[in-house]
Structure 1
Amino acid sequence: MRIAALVAVAAVMSVGTPALAQQQQSEIVFCNKTGSKIFTALAHVPQTTKKWTLTAWQTIPAGGCKSVARWNTALFYYYAEKEGRTVHWPAKAGVDKTFCVPSRAITREIVGGTCAAGERSVGFKGTVPNAGKYTINLNS
């Protein structure tokens, strides 16, 4: 009986393992449908560190598209703002989580708590990307 239980557990584990090993990569692309530059910030959990990480700021030219990341991740959060901070995405109603962002480009671990000097708290939208190219269109 004990051997049968171990065999059953091993079978379940072997069925689950390939799915994890074969998780496909997502390419995150932002398309700027406005007439101004847009700056993006992303928060995700890299497989290497298993800790929330912030990457800010990638520039998306007016009218252009740009690939900003390639991940094997099930969830990430994004924030984008138009040059001059006059428009931002997501809109207030679409905010899922807030993170502190600095004024300069950076990649760092997110530690939580209050924002450091020179940082501000902004609302991010959570999304689960499909495998392959995952495009987010930003319209005025």
Structure 2
Amino acid sequence: MTEFTPLLSFAGGMVIGLATVALMAVHGRIAGINGILSGFLTTQFNQDWAWRAAFLGGMIASPLVLLVLSGQMPEISVPSPAPLLLIGGFLTGIGTTYASGCTSGHGVCGISRLSARSIVATLTFMTTAIATVFLTRHVFGG
């Protein structure tokens, strides 16, 4: 069972919100990791590539910042076997391609801009996630 941490969750949400607003204000870009990563992998070394590299570097370095501030690394537990994670990652990649974005792009940035496409996409992946958890935990006994 996951520990309930409302204050830390609220603080994390605020930081994500501030980061997305800052990225939109400074670069006019949406903070969807799918688009940021694909642009990073396909863009030449220029200003567009540089902000993408900085964004991804910040995501990678954030556990180290937590280590410096708290003295411990975040605890990560993945109870699923590697083949299942690979299948899930592959299906997620297909979904983000068809949805023209990911959960962060649609869920955080798109809904805040009242994008109808993002609202539908977010409702779709949230419904799918709820159904998957229900089936995994209560039907298949995972």
TM-score normalised by the chain length of structure 1: 0.19
Larger helix fraction of residues: 2
Give the structure with higher Rg (CA).
Answer: 1
Larger strand fraction of residues: 1
TM-score normalised by the chain length of structure 2: 0.19
Q: Specify which structure has the bigger relative contact order, considering alpha-carbon pairs within 8 angstroms and separated by 6 or more residues.
A: 1
